[in-house]
Amino acid sequence: MILAAQWVFLSSFQSTIAVLHESGKRAVVASKINYMSMRATITIYPRATPDAEPVLVTFSNGSQLEITEKYSKQVFLPKSGSTNWDFHFSIFLNLMAKPEHEYVQMTLSNDNPIDVDVVPDVSDDFLSWYYEPIHPDLDVQDEIDLYWLIVEGDATVSISGYGAPF
């Protein structure tokens, strides 16, 4: 029984990773459904050549940072909603039909309640497009939490996310 309880607890943890080796303007996004807590680690490796331009990082609050060396940032998105028991059932009873994704870009669902993404070639209004729900009546702001930043320049960008419904 102790082992079974431990297994249940262990199964609640989810992790995900995304990497992109491209230049240009990219959005690095960590998102989660509100009943999860999530920690994401973003790492940017600028191209290591003498004539390489600095990489510009723009944060969601508008502040900017120029980097020439490896830069790493951890963000914590706390739980902001009540526990969704569908999540637990979807983990332990895989008999349930997979729900359709509710968003155009994000792959969030009860089966996949945390997500990280590096979106290439974004425009300034990428957020409205990225946030867009498939069903217009969905109130996405209440349902999900999101952290993002924009990276411009020649660099490899990776983001890993790790979360649990506690």
Partner 1 sequence: MNEDNLSSKMSEFMTALDQVKKYREIVASLTDFTIMILGTIVAAISFNNFMRLHSLFITADHGQNIFAYFLFFAIFPAGIIAAVWRVRQRVKSVKPSEWKTTLNEGAAGALKLIQELEWDNIFSSIRYAKLGFFIYGIAKILVYWGIATGALYVLNWGVQWLFHMNMDLFLVVALALVVVVFLNRNDLRKRYEQIGRLDWLLWELRWFESEFRGADFEA
Q: Residues 18, 20, 22, 41: which binds partner 1 (CB under 8 A)? A: 41
- Residue 31's closest CA among 86, 121, 107? 107
Nearer to partner 1, 9 or 129 (CB): 9
CB of 129 to partner 1, least distance (A): 30
Q: Residues 37, 43, 68, 156: which binds partner 1 (CB under 8 A)? A: 37
CB of 161 to partner 1, least distance (A): 11
d(CA 7, CA 27): 36
Task: Scan for tokens 């895989």, then name that residue.
Answer: 94
CA angle 62, 67, 70 (to 5 degrees): 120
- Residue 110's closest CA among 12, 41, 2, 30? 12
Q: Residues 13, 59, 85, 89: which binds partner 1 (CB under 8 A)? A: 13
CB of 80 to partner 1, least distance (A): 15
Segments of the chain assigned E as strands? 14-22, 25-33, 37-46, 55-59, 64-67, 71-77, 114-119, 144-152, 155-164
Nearer to partner 1, 38 or 155 (CB): 38
Does 34 participate in binding partner 1 (rule CB under 8 A)? no
CB of 35 to partner 1, least distance (A): 14
Nearer to partner 1, 6 or 83 (CB): 6
